[in-house]
Amino acid sequence: MAQHNDTGKQGEDEAVRYLQEKGYQVLERNYRYQHAEIDLIAQKGKLLVFVEVKTRSSTRFGNPEEFVTYTKARLIMKAAEHYIFSKDWPYDVRFDIVAVTVLPDEVVVRHLEDAFY
């Protein structure tokens, strides 16, 4: 597997661990609908959270969350709409970003709630 794939997988695993420690139940990983993919779908109480995980091995070119484009956000929202209707979800939803920076001596996880809508 390519190094960037390993880094991405590590970032997603870190995001799952982080969210679970914060009381979220991860319902889905890599949920796909048409051309869209949602990295994580989690639930906390009556809140359904669609999470984009962005992982970088440095912040040299910017923070991980800066790489979530408008187009990517729109695709996530489209897939989320499909998921919401397929599950007949009657409660609130939120779109978050979990930004993971994998440095040589530490892993930094930042959770940005209501990152886009």
Q: Is residue 79 part of a domain?
A: yes
pLDDT tens-digit readout, 59-84? 888 888 999 999 999 999 999 999 99
Region of 47 please: left (phi>0), alpha (psi -120 to 50) or beta. Answer: beta
Query: Which band of pLDDT confidence, cut at 50, 70 and 90, is reported for residue 5?
Result: low
Mean pLDDT of the 24-31 span? 97
Residue 117 lies in a domain: no
pTM of the prediction?
0.92
Please tell me the total count of domains within the chain. Answer: 1
Per-residue model confidence (pLDDT) at position 101: 94
CA distance 18 to 4: 21
Buried b (16+ CB within 10 A) or exposed e, 68-78: beeeebebbbe
- What are the backbone dihedrals phi and psi of residue 63, each rounded to the nearest 5 degrees, phi first? -75, 150
pLDDT bucket at 39, cuts 50 / 70 / 90: very high
Residue 35 lies in a domain: yes
Domain of 34 in residue numbering reads as 3-112
Q: Which residue has the tokens 């794939």?
A: 5
Does the CA dihedral 51-52-57-58 come out positive or negative? Answer: negative
- Residues 54/62, Cβ–Cβ less than 8 Å: no
CATH number at residue 74: 3.40.1350.10
The pLDDT of residue 83 is 98
Q: Which two tokens stand for residue 69?
A: 């484009």
How much is the pLDDT for 8?
Answer: 79
Distance CA 38, CA 31 (A): 5
Tell me what the pLDDT averaged over the chain comes to.
92
